[in-house]
Chains A and B, each alone.
Chain A
């Protein structure tokens, strides 16, 4: 662009700037219409894929394979159906070691929200509004924060951070997810998360909901997207490609595979999607450690 043209367009921009800011508070964007995801709680899948009936009880999964396997929502990878030793078990051991080292004097447990050192049910307190960090955070973000306060570095999304997360989650096994998104900062986060879940973005103009609402149950070559209900009770998880993934690390992979520029682990958008999906798991029991393909 030559100089006079630059000047001219700069002037045009300045003149149009006011009109544009009045006319368009929001740029043009598209959302997948997703009325089914309104009610928080795992029962909401009844009006969505109606597969909840099959995976409701992990100990009583019906026999399904081939084209129907997706209806089990991968719960056959969980216990008791899958009793093989996997990388998640090794991560749990590592997590216990790290936790005990960090928790000398109970300072780490207290920071995480268990002042008496009893970890039972602690996982269910996340995600939550964090008074210290002044924002809604997931448990892995708080682990990084508390470790940091005690002089240790456990980067959110790293293997060791996820290992500690898994160890803490094991104390809540079998207890149902129950986060309250009916009021306050968590409600705001839930609403933001729902909006981002349905926002079409990236090189392919795809929302999370494009695959998990619009195309759910269809074949995308060798893959079949499953319901987004009841999925947040087994993270972090050991992936078949030999990687321990926190939920946010998984989000970067989702973005990567759908042609969307990934975001920082612990970013507010990812946390809000975490809150949204957590609420859609309300009522479904925790399972740690876990593995997925």
Chain B
């Protein structure tokens, strides 16, 4: 465990150093030409491996390809989000992920349950409902426990906040994304979801 922690700390330092210096660009592919006239070509993101489907000058950077019937080429399409800052499945990726963290709740929860609901029940945002049953969802997920009457569990605000921020700190084998630790959601968004869950009676 100690070795892992030391390794992670070193990795974090390395990452910080990598973002500071100019990344090796020799192997970075030339971005595909875009139809919109870009004022200034943007650089390849630091740390992003060369075999990523990415075009710095595309709308959100991250792209994918669409096959079109009866053609021998691929059409480039924009991903709704720039995903370059997170670890990829590429062998060329030298980055890691942030290790588990037990985050203390700073001050009162101060979350907005209405906002939390919007994030939790949105596939493109928190997507909590993919795995958990939530009130009013006709297609409840059942990978994680039901959250229908979550407040009845009587968990403290801090426990709920910590769980959403990084469930790995409690259960290292969890499949639940560490929304706070990974920067998937902002600290305020984590608070909003916690407030939403604490309102489910």
Within 8 A of B (CB), among A237-269: 243-246, 249, 252-253, 255-256, 259-265, 267-269
Question: Are B67 and A243 within 8 A (Cβ)?
Answer: yes
Known contacts A9-B20, A155-B73; is A260 also within 8 Å of B175 by CB?
A: no
User: Which of the residues B83, B173, B178 comes within 8 Å of A261, measured between beta carbons?
Assistant: B83
CA distance A206 to B176 in the complex (A): 8
Distance in Å from the Cβ of A42 to the closest Cβ of chain B?
Answer: 24
Residues of A within 8 A of B88 (CB): 201-202, 255, 260-261, 263
List residues of B (117-132) whose CB comes within 8 Å of A's CBs: 127, 129-131
- Across the interface, do B53 and A219 meet the contact criterion of CB distance under 8 Å? no
Query: Which range holds the interface residue count of chain B?
Result: 35 or more
Q: For chains A and B in complex, what number of residue pairs have CB atoms within 8 angstroms?
A: 206
Contacts A28-B8, A203-B83, A253-B64; A269 near B90 (Cβ below 8 A): yes
A290 at the interface (CB under 8 A from B): no
Known A23-B6, A201-B88: A157·B65 in contact at CB below 8 Å = yes
Contact in complex: A256, B79 (CB < 8 Å): yes
Inter-subunit contact A160/B89 (CB<8 Å) = no
Q: A221-B140, A263-B53 are in contact. List 7 more A-B contacts (CB 8 A).
A: A6-B20, A32-B175, A155-B72, A221-B129, A253-B64, A260-B89, A261-B86
A160 pairs with B72, CB closer than 8 A: yes
Assess whether A94 is interfacial by the CB under 8 Å rule: yes
Q: Does A227 contact B (CB under 8 A)?
A: no
Q: Which residues, 1 to 36 on B, are CB-close (under 8 Å) to A? A: 4, 6-8, 10-17, 20-21
Task: Return 17 A-B CB contacts under 8 Å, by A number.
Answer: A13-B16, A16-B10, A26-B11, A29-B97, A155-B73, A159-B67, A160-B70, A160-B71, A202-B87, A203-B177, A219-B141, A221-B130, A221-B141, A259-B83, A261-B52, A261-B86, A263-B51
Cα(A16)–Cα(B16), bound, Å: 11
A35 at the interface (CB under 8 A from B): no
Q: Does B54 contact A (CB under 8 A)?
A: yes
In the bound complex, residues from chain A placing their C-beta under 8 Å from that of B67 are 157-159, 162, 243-246, 249
Q: B90, A27: Cβ atoms under 8 Å?
A: no
B135 interface residue (CB < 8 Å to A): no
Query: Contacts of A27 on B, CB cut-off 8 Å?
Result: 7-8, 11, 14-15, 94-97
